[in-house]
Amino acid sequence: MHSFTSIAVIIGILHSPTFKAQITSNENEVSVDKQFATDSLQIAELFRLALTESHSYEWLGDMCSNIGHRLSGSPQAAEAVEYSFDLMNDLNLDPWKQPVMVPVWKRGEKELAYFISDQGKKGELSILALGGSISTKDEGLLAPVVEVETWGDLEKLGEQGVKGKIVFFNEKMNPENLYTFHSYGHCVMHRWGGAVEAAKYGAVGVIVRSLNMRIDDYPHTGSMKYEEDITKIPAAAVSTKDAEELSELIKSGDKVSIMMRLMCETLEDTESYNVVGEIKGSENPDKVILVGGHLDSWDVGDGAHDDGAGVMQSLGVLELLKKLNYKPKNTLRVVFFMNEENGLRGAKAYSEFAESSNEVHIAAIESDRGGFTPRGFHVEGSESKLAKIAGWESILDKYGIHQVEKGGAGADIGPLKTDENVLIGFVPDSQRYFDHHHSANDTFDTVNKRELELGTASIASLVYLIDKYGL
Among 12-26, 114-128, 197-211, 231-245, the range scoring the smallest mean pLDDT is: 12-26
Helix/strand/coil for 218: coil
Q: Distance (Å, rounded) from C-alpha 352 to C-alpha 296?
A: 20
The whole-number pLDDT of residue 34 equals 65
Task: Please choose, from the candidates 281, 408, 272, the residue with its C-alpha nearest in 3D space to the C-alpha of residue 333.
Answer: 281
Mean pLDDT of 160-183: 97
Would residue 319 show up in a list of annotated catalytic residues for this protein?
Answer: no
Q: How confident is the model at residue 38 (pLDDT cuts 50, 70, 90)?
A: confident
pLDDT beyond 70 at 20? no
The whole-number pLDDT of residue 56 equals 98
More reliable by pLDDT, 28 or 463: 463
What is the percentage of the chain residues whose pLDDT exceeds 90? Answer: 91
Tens of pLDDT, residue by residue over 78-110, are: 999 999 999 999 999 999 999 999 999 999 999
Among 32-36, 137-141, 291-295, the range scoring the smallest mean pLDDT is: 32-36
Helix/strand/coil for 257: strand
Catalytic residue among 147, 319, 340, 453: 340
Task: Tell me the pLDDT of the chain averaged across its residues.
Answer: 93
Tens of pLDDT, residue by residue over 206-216, are: 999 999 999 99
Q: Distance (Å, rounded) from C-alpha 54 to C-alpha 454?
A: 10
Tens of pLDDT, residue by residue over 359-391, are: 999 999 999 999 999 999 999 999 999 999 999
The region that residue 470 occupies, defined by phi over 0 for left and psi between -120 and 50 for alpha, beta otherwise, is: left
The whole-number pLDDT of residue 36 equals 74
The whole-number pLDDT of residue 162 equals 98
Mean pLDDT of 443-463: 98
Max CA separation in the chain (angstroms): 114
The whole-number pLDDT of residue 447 equals 98
Task: Output the DSSP codes for 43-97.
Answer: HHHHHHHHHHH--HHHHHHHHHHHT----TTSHHHHHHHHHHHHHHHHTT---EE
The whole-number pLDDT of residue 37 equals 81
Please give the domain boundaries of the chain with CATH numbers for all domains: 41-105+267-469 (3.40.630.10), 111-263 (3.50.30.30)
Task: Please choose, from the candidates 199, 267, 234, the residue with its C-alpha nearest in 3D space to the C-alpha of residue 113.
Answer: 234
Q: Kindly report the pTM of this predicted structure.
A: 0.91
Beta-sheet pairing, 122-124 with 112-117: antiparallel
What is the percentage of the chain residues whose pLDDT exceeds 70? Answer: 93
pLDDT beyond 70 at 26? no
Task: Please choose, from the candidates 384, 410, 362, 393, the residue with its C-alpha nearest in 3D space to the C-alpha of residue 461.
Answer: 393
Mean pLDDT of 158-163: 97
H runs (alpha helix) in 163-281: 180-199, 240-251
pLDDT beyond 50 at 446? yes
Mean pLDDT of 121-129: 97
